[in-house]
Amino acid sequence: MLVTFSPPMSLGPSPLRICRVCELEAYTLEDLEYFVKAKRFTHGRQNKCKNCHNKEKTKKYANLPEEEKEKARQHVRNWNLANKDHRAEYGLNWQRNNKEKVKQYNFRSRNKIRLEVLSHYSGTPPTCECCGENIIGFLTIDHIHGGGTKHRAQKGVPSGTEFYRWLKKQNYPQGYRVLCYNCNCAHGALGFCPHEIERSSDK
């Protein structure tokens, strides 16, 4: 989608930069953040927005022979190894200066991995195996045979979001199911869920 910015009167009608691909226009220094950095260009930005630049790079990489792709990957690996300190410092500075973006990214990342794991063990959409609850925020992973806390301590398995990542990394081991927090807590405290008694009494 083409995005345009309204030109402030103080800068006049002429844009500072125009993307030569999608014609995105930048009228303020803040708008320039959407453009690729390049010291040799006017205002320190290329006449190409980041979105178009990334699309072109992705397309170019996809059309490369596998040998060239491996060379590119090795180049990146070598650069990363040679610039560990620079990357670490840059990353920390970026996080300090973009706390809201980091917060939003972490939120999306947690929700994504959680939905992936819940869907694997329950199906789409995920539902509580006991009561049928399907509101994602109410669902969690349950150890079918109990002892989840003890198991995580013995195996060094993390809790929370890292537990979901661990399950995916371990290729979704058996012995887990999806329950809502009510049913999960009932099993932990009572050894059974009251829903089970209700169902048995209805028969």
Residues 44-67: tens digit of each pLDDT: 999 999 999 999 999 999 999 999
Note the pLDDT of residue 176. Answer: 93
Residues in the chain, total: 203
DSSP string, 61-99: HHTS-HHHHHHHHHHHHHHHHHTHHHHHHHHHHHHHH-H
pLDDT of 8 above 60: no
- Mean pLDDT of the region 151-177: 86
- Mean pLDDT of the region 15-25: 90
Mean of the per-residue pLDDT values of the chain: 87
pLDDT of 82 above 90: yes
For residues 136 and 126, is the Cβ–Cβ distance under 8 A?
A: yes
Residues 91-142: tens digit of each pLDDT: 999 999 999 999 999 999 999 999 999 999 999 899 999 999 999 999 999 9
pLDDT band of residue 12 (cuts 50, 70, 90) is low
pLDDT of 4 above 70: no
Q: Where are the domains of the chain?
A: 9-56, 109-202
